[in-house]
């Protein structure tokens, strides 16, 4: 299992306040965090230094989260294609949730309904499942 202190997470979120809240919670719990304010920057960072997990907003400029999710899952790089992804969005329609499930997101969380502690718990849960499957 990867040591938590070595676990790299990229937070793709255009809402700076939300990104800072999530990043702070993760960093104070020993995770290495990179942040991207749009999907195009996030995709570039992700390809330069593949993280252990992606926290992905859906509504972002340049390249939205759906496109990023599609790019990750269709990547020729098996490590990228298998990345655990937690969607963290204010979109909550069944259509949006179903679309991310079809693209094999590992979890879907509506920002307004979850605290930073609950987001952290979900990240730990998804990373544990990944470690158990490796």
> What pLDDT was estimated at residue 6?
85
Given a cut of 90, is residue 83 above it in pLDDT? yes
Do residues 108 and 65 lie in contact, with contact meaning Cβ atoms separated by under 8 Å? no
Both tokens of residue 59?
């509504």
- pLDDT reading at 75 higher than 90: yes
Task: Identify the bridge partners of residue 108 per DSSP, sorted by sequence position.
Answer: 87
pLDDT digits (tens, 9 = 90+) for 12-37: 999 999 999 999 999 999 999 999 99
3-state helix, strand, coil in the chain (%, to 5): 50, 15, 30
pLDDT at residue 1, as a whole number: 44
What band does 4 get if pLDDT is binned at 50, 70 and 90? very low
Residue predicted with more confidence, 9 or 4: 9
Provide the residue range defining the domain that includes 82. Answer: 4-129
**Do residues 46 and 5 touch, judged by C-beta distance below 8 A?**
no
Evaluate the CA torsion angle 99, 101, 104, 105 in order and state its sign: positive
What is the DSSP code (8-state) at residue 56?
E
Structure tokens at 90: 């204010």
Residue 11 lies in a domain: yes
Q: Is residue 134 part of a domain?
A: no
> What is the pTM (predicted TM-score) of this model?
0.92
pLDDT at site 132? 85
Residue 79 has a pLDDT of: 94
Residue 119 lies in a domain: yes
Sign of CA dihedral 57, 63, 67, 68: negative
Closest CA to 43 of 18, 70, 17: 70
- Domain of residue 120, CATH code: 3.40.50.2300
Q: How many domains does the chain have?
A: 1
In 3D space, the residue among 7, 103, 111, 8 whose CA is nearest the CA of residue 57 turns out to be 111
- Confidence at residue 80, expressed as pLDDT on a 0 to 100 scale: 96
Rounded (10°) angle between helices 16-27 and 116-133: 60
Residue 109 lies in a domain: yes
């Amino acid at each position: 299992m990867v040591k938590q202190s070595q676990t790299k997470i990229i937070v793709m979120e255009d809402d700076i306040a939300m990104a800072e809240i999530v990043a702070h919670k993760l960093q104070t719990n020993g995770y290495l965090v990179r942040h991207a304010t749009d999907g195009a920057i996030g995709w570039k960072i992700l390809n330069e230094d593949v993280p252990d997990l992606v926290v992905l907003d859906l509504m972002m400029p340049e390249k939205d989260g759906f496109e990023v999710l599609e790019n990750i899952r269709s990547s020729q790089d098996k490590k990228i294609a298998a990345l655990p992804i937690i969607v963290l969005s204010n979109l909550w329609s069944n259509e949006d949730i179903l679309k991310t499930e079809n693209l094999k997101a590992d979890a879907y969380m509506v920002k307004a309904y979850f605290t930073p502690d609950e987001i952290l718990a979900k990240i730990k849960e998804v990373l544990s499942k990944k470690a158990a499957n490796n």
